[in-house]
Each structure stands twice: as structure tokens, then as C-alpha cells.
């Protein structure tokens, strides 16, 4: 081989570049075999062509080749090309598949930038072609070498967080369905009725209405017990506890109603105790058959009571003894864990068969004294160990999870985080699956698991916190705020890539159109618009701070540092304001807030998630 041929080979090695096939519109990486064939084909030739042998060395870049060049055979030409490659200082491009990073139509490839042109779809991206065509956008063709180098230097990551969070969400819903079953399906209320035994020892027709679930999943009360966002479980709600105090004051006026035929007794008010069939035993100085009980250390007699099945004189643990005497107010009595069974025959309220005990129903802490059959029919929590509603915490039963620090002080703030992994049903989970496996992996490949986890979790927590402020009495689950944070992340990615994308304004309009559509969708019941809006803003600020920035000019680097600090400060200020509104100056009544979250098309379309009970006598 002459010197000119060797120089030509060396120049071809030292200046490897992206080349385009004559039949292709895409720029791509060049494999080792293709470069070797190009080196061979660039050598000057003067012999005649042998089609059979030359075709074996023609690649997708076809040109005239000949079997003998300057007396050198084809095999010798290939061997010379291999020697030239080995002597080259440049590291050859591997034949192994290049790891590609696709982000909404922009394909980042390690060591090379690929571009999708004229609707040609690259392999290796998530196979939702109809959706990909909507998101697809192109690089500008005149990228500077510095910009290409910046893109090539981006680290690529595996989407571990996407796989982990989606797997956990699937498992949680499966476990929830096995544990609680399915609730009624629909958008309004379902009507349930049946004959049950009530405290009057008669069968009665009992009816109740409960909210339906349009996502094919558990009931609202079960979702709350599982960990849904529900403000009364996260803070002391003034309205709910005012109702609880009213019920305790009402219960303080009750006494034991004993049936004259000795068939049983129940704690009730005087109006509901039949004077013909029963006797209402109230501790009062005017009732001779039930003399008052003196409170030790006080000259005043007891006026509150009696209580069916419980008496301070007949309880060994906890005993009513100084300085821990049981107060006169029966709503402050503890549960007697070890009663005294001897010497109680004279006291009918201690020997009668107790018919009703406390039952917690609904989602707002309601309690009523009823039978076990009635309580089970209403899907409530029956307390066999207690005799009064004031002895149980119905709100704690409804909320479940870790018990409150104090019975009257709900503190389950961790629901802001846990509810991100819970879904209202399988249809809800399917929507989450599509969003997270279509959008989230590509963003995580670009940003890394740590950054995407921060954006996902913080956006979701912020959205849930805003929802708890403005719609506190609705149980909400799912990563709605997180998904809008991801949508904001896509918009920020376009802003960061503004100089290298063709028609970036069109792309922004597409993303904003999707956000607008999802906002309208959020006006339906069980979909939370407050989580959407605040999750979007928090995700936008976090994305400005955490997403890679492609410009490399010095003044833009300083601008980026300022932008990061400002964005993180904005997120911190927003969270402080939300926590102040939730814990310090809570919003209990807001008549217009519900219309931003749900439009009442019918009477029951945006109804609350509590149950409505109706009872009629039959026997």
C-alpha cells in the first residue's frame, strides 16, 4: 500500500463522524465493522470490479468497490485497515447496543446524539406509538459542538424509583382489596336495607346510604382506615370535636333503662325508655329505689347515672379510691377492667343483661348504643368492652393505623406521605400505571433516581397538604399531586432545552393543553384538583432546581445558580404557608371551595362520603 493510501486511512480514523446512509434520514452511531468498510472503500482503486467479492464488503453505505487495488487483495486491504485502527489513539465505537435515553421525543444517546426526523420512530423507547407521536419533537440541526458535547456528557440512569414506587402501589391495592373487599360501584350513593335486631329487642327495617366508588375499589371508610388523606385524622378538627362534646353532654343525661320483664337493659335517655315496659334508673335524691352514691371527699351526691353494667362501687380495677375517685360525670368514667361480681343483687343496673354497647359508624366519629347485629349491618366498630360512647374514641377507630398520642388529639400527619401509595381502585391504579410508565422512566433516566424521587414525593405531599386544607372532610388517595409534578417537570425540560429544540412553543402549548384537560377532569368526584394545582407548582419549582441545564455559557451558569436558590426558597415558603393554614389558621368552612374540586351535576354527585342511616319499626 502506498503512502497516500495509508494517509487517507489515518485521516478517516482520526476524524470519525456521524454519517447518513443514502436511504436513511436519521443520523446514527457507526459500528466498528462499518468504519472498517469505509476505510477500505476510501482507498484509491484502478482495478476492475468483481461483484461477488465486493458485495461482501459493501455496507449500507454502497459505493463502487474492486477486488484488487494496486496489487493488494481484498483480505490484505481489510488487514491493513485493522492495523490502522489499532494504531489509532481513538477508542473505537463498540458494536454493543448503545444505551438510549428518550425524553418526550428527544433521544439522548451515550457518545452520540440521535434525532427523530419526519416521523421516524427509534427503537428502545416505550411502545405507545400513538402517544409518542403527540409528544415527539426534534432537535435543531445546527447544534454547536459545545452543545453536542454537553448532551453527550449527560449521565444516564436506570429508572429504579419508577419500578419501585409502581410495584408498591400495586401491592398495596391488592392487599387492600383482599382485606376490605370492594365497595359499591358508581358515582352517587348506594341504598342498603335489611331486618336487624335493635335495642328494643325487636326486628326493625334499617336502611342506610353510602357513597359509591367509581374506580372499582374499597369503600371510603376503608380507604381512611388504610391511610388516605383525611384532615380529621391529622389534626384536631374543631367542628367534629364540637359535635363529640355535644354527644357527651347528651350522654351525661342518660341512665340505665331496664325492661320490667327482665329481658335486658340499655343505656338511653328518658324519652326513649317506655314507662309501661321499662324502668329508667336515674341516680337522684328523688328516687328511693336507687339511693344516691356519695363521692368521697365531697358533700354532694351523685346525680349523673346510673350506667348499665358499671358502678364505681363494684369495680376493682381501676378502683374508685382517693385520690382517684370516679367523677360524678359519667362521660369521664374509665372502662372497668375487673368488676366485682358479689353483693350486686340489689342493684338491677348491674345484674341486667346488657343489650346495647357503643358502636362507631360513619367517618366523622359518630357513636350510638346499639346491638352487635345492628352495628355489623352498618359496617361499624362494635366495642364489647365499653358501656358508654364517651369511653371509646370513634375517630381513632375510623382512622386506624398508629393510635393517637392523645385520644382527643389526632396527629397522623404521615398520611400526607402514605396516601401517595394508596389507590381508590383498579381503574385509578391503571391511570397511574400509564402515567408513570410513559413519562416517569424517561425523566428518571435523565435526572437519576434521587432527583425524581424528590420531585415525585415532595410534589405529592404538597398537593395532599393543600387538599387537606380546602377539602378536609373528603378522603383522597393516590399520587395526583406527584403526577402533576411530573407534568411540570416536562415543561421545565422544554424550557431548559429551548435553544436546541425545534418549535419549543408548540411543545409547551401541548403540555399546557394536557394540564388543562386534566384540570377539567379533576372537577369529577374522587379526583382532587387542589392536589393537582399545588403539586404542579411545587413540581415546577423543584424541576427548575434539579433538572440538568444544557447551556454552558458562564453568565447562564450564574443564572442557573440563582434560579436553583430561588426555586428551593419558593418551595420552602409555600410549604410553610400551607402548614400554617392547616395547623394554625385552619379553614373549616368554605362554601365555594367544593366547586373548584367538584361540580354538583346531581344532588348526590358531589355528596360527602359519610353514611346516612334511616330506621323504621317493623315488629
CA–CA distance from 291 to each of 286, 287, 301, 346, 357 (Å)? 8, 7, 9, 11, 25
* Cell numbers representing residue 34 in the block: 462499518
CB 224 within 8 A of CB 230: yes
Write the CB contacts of 129 (distance below 8 Å, at least 6 apart in sequence): 121
For residue 166, give the nearest of 517, 445, 476, 456 by alpha carbon.
Answer: 456
Q: Which helix (H) or strand (E) holds 241?
A: helix 238-251
Is-catalytic flag, 480? yes
Q: How far is CA 21 from the centre of its chain?
A: 48
- For residues 584 and 579, give the distance between their C-alpha atoms in angstroms, rounded to a whole number: 8
What b/e string do you get for 340-367 counting C-beta neighbours within 10 Å, with b at 16 or more? eeeeeeebbbbebebbbbbbbbbbbbbb
106 class by beta-carbon count within 10 Å (0-12 exposed, 13-18 middle, 19+ buried)? buried
DSSP string of 339-385?
Answer: E--SS-TT-HHHHS-B--EEEEETTTTEEEEE-HHHHHHTT-EE-TT
CA–CA distance from 534 to each of 283, 485, 528, 539, 575 (Å)? 57, 9, 11, 8, 10
List the catalytic residue out of 5, 480, 497, 543.
480
Angle at the Cα of 28 from the Cα atoms of 25 and 30, rounded to 5 degrees: 130
Write the CB contacts of 343 (distance below 8 Å, at least 6 apart in sequence): 314
For residue 456, give the nearest of 529, 369, 380, 546 by alpha carbon.
Answer: 546
CB 214 within 8 A of CB 525: yes
Write the CB contacts of 520 (distance below 8 Å, at least 6 apart in sequence): none
CA dihedral 599, 603, 605, 611 (to 10 degrees): 130
Cα end-to-end span (Å), the chain: 113
List the catalytic residue out of 383, 423, 428, 532.
532
CA–CA distance from 443 to each of 66, 150, 248, 463, 539 (Å)? 49, 17, 54, 20, 13
Strand partners, 268: 255
| Other Cβ atoms within 10 Å of 70 Cβ, number | 14
Strand partners, 354: 265
| Other Cβ atoms within 10 Å of 433 Cβ, number | 15
Is-catalytic flag, 532? yes
- For residues 180 and 48, give the distance between their C-alpha atoms in angstroms, rounded to a whole number: 82
Q: How far is CA 174 from the centre of its chain?
A: 15
CB 195 within 8 A of CB 474: no
CA–CA distance from 475 to each of 87, 343, 367, 525 (Å)? 69, 50, 20, 11
3-state secondary structure of 188: coil
Q: Which helix (H) or strand (E) holds 149?
A: helix 145-152
Question: What residues are labeled active site?
Answer: 480, 532
Amino acid at each position: 500500500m502506498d503512502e497516500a493510501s495509508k494517509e487517507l486511512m489515518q485521516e478517516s480514523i482520526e476524524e470519525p463522524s456521524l454519517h447518513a446512509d443514502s436511504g436513511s434520514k436519521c443520523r446514527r452511531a457507526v459500528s466498528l465493522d462499518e468504519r472498517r468498510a469505509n476505510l477500505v472503500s476510501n482507498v484509491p482503486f484502478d482495478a476492475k470490479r468483481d461483484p461477488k467479492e465486493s458485495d461482501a464488503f459493501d455496507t449500507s453505505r454502497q459505493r463502487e468497490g474492486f477486488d484488487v487495488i494496486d496489487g493488494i487483495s481484498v483480505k490484505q486491504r481489510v488487514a491493513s485497515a485493522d492495523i490502522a485502527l489499532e494504531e489509532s489513539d481513538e477508542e473505537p465505537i463498540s458494536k454493543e447496543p448503545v444505551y438510549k435515553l428518550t425524553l418526550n421525543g428527544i433521544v439522548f444517546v451515550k457518545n452520540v446524539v440521535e434525532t427523530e426526523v419526519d416521523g421516524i420512530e427509534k427503537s428502545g423507547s416505550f411502545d405507545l406509538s400513538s402517544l409518542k407521536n403527540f409528544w415527539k419533537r426534534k432537535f435543531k440541526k445546527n447544534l454547536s459542538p459545545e452543545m453536542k458535547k454537553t448532551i453527550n456528557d449527560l449521565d444516564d440512569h436506570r429508572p429504579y424509583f419508577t419500578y419501585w414506587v409502581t410495584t408498591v402501589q400495586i401491592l398495596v391495592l391488592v392487599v387492600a382489596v383482599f382485606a376490605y373487599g370492594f365497595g359499591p360501584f358508581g358515582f352517587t350513593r348506594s341504598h342498603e336495607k335489611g331486618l336487624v335486631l335493635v335495642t328494643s329487642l325487636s326486628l326493625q327495617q334499617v336502611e342506610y346510604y353510602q357513597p359509591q366508588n367509581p374506580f372499582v375499589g374499597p369503600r371510603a371508610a376503608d380507604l381512611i382506615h388504610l391511610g388516605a388523606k383525611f384532615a380529621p385524622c391529622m389534626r384536631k378538627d374543631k367542628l367534629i370535636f364540637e359535635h363529640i362534646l355535644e354527644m357527651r353532654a347528651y350522654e351525661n343525661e342518660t341512665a340505665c333503662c331496664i325492661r320490667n320483664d327482665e329481658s335486658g337493659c340499655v343505656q338511653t335517655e328518658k324519652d326513649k325508655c317506655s314507662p309501661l315496659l321499662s324502668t329508667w334508673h336515674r341516680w337522684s335524691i328523688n328516687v328511693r329505689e336507687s339511693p344516691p352514691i356519695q363521692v368521697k371527699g365531697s358533700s354532694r351526691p351523685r346525680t349523673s347515672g346510673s350506667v348499665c353494667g358499671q358502678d364505681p362501687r363494684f369495680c376493682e380495677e381501676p378502683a374508685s379510691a382517693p385520690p382517684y375517685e370516679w367523677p360524678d360525670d359519667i362521660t369521664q368514667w374509665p372502662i372497668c377492667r375487673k368488676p366485682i361480681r358479689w353483693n350486686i343483687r340489689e342493684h338491677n343496673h348491674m345484674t341486667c343483661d346488657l343489650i346495647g354497647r357503643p358502636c362507631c359508624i360513619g367517618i366523622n366519629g359518630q357513636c350510638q348504643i346499639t346491638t352487635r347485629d345492628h352495628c355489623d349491618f352498618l359496617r361499624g366498630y362494635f366495642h364489647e368492652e365499653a358501656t358508654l360512647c364517651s369511653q371509646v374514641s370513634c375517630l381513632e377507630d375510623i382512622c386506624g393505623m398508629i393510635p393517637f398520642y392523645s385520644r382527643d388529639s389526632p396527629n397522623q400527619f404521615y398520611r400526607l406521605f402514605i396516601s401517595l401509595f394508596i389507590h381508590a381502585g383498579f381503574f385509578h391504579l391503571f391511570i397511574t400505571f400509564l402515567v408513570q410508565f410513559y413519562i416517569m422512566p424517561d425523566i428518571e433516566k435523565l435526572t437519576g433516581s434521587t432527583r425524581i424521587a424528590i420531585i415525585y414525593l415532595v410534589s405529592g405531599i404538597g398537593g395532599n397538604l393543600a387538599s387537606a386544607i380546602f377539602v378536609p372532610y373528603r378522603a383522597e388517595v393516590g399520587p395526583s399531586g406527584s403526577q402533576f409534578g411530573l407534568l411540570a417537570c416536562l415543561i421545565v425540560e422544554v424550557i431548559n432545552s429551548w435553544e436546541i429544540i425545534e418549535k419549543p412553543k408548540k411543545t409547551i402549548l401541548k403540555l399546557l393543553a394536557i394540564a388543562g384537560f386534566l384540570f377539567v377532569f379533576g372537577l369529577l368526584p374522587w379526583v382532587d384538583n387542589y392536589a393537582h394545582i399545588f403539586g404542579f407548582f411545587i413540581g415546577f419549582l423543584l424541576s427548575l432546581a434539579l433538572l440538568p441545564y444544557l447551556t454552558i455559557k458562564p453568565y447562564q451558569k450564574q443564572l442557573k445558580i440563582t434560579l436553583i436558590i430561588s426555586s428551593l426558597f419558593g418551595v420552602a415558603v409555600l410549604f410553610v404557608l400551607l402548614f400554617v393554614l392547616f395547623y394554625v389558621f385552619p379553614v373549616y368552612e368554605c362554601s365555594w371551595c367544593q366547586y373548584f374540586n367538584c361540580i354538583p351535576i346531581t344532588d348526590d354527585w358531589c355528596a360527602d362520603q359519610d353514611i346516612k342511616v334511616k330506621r323504621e319499626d317493623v315488629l
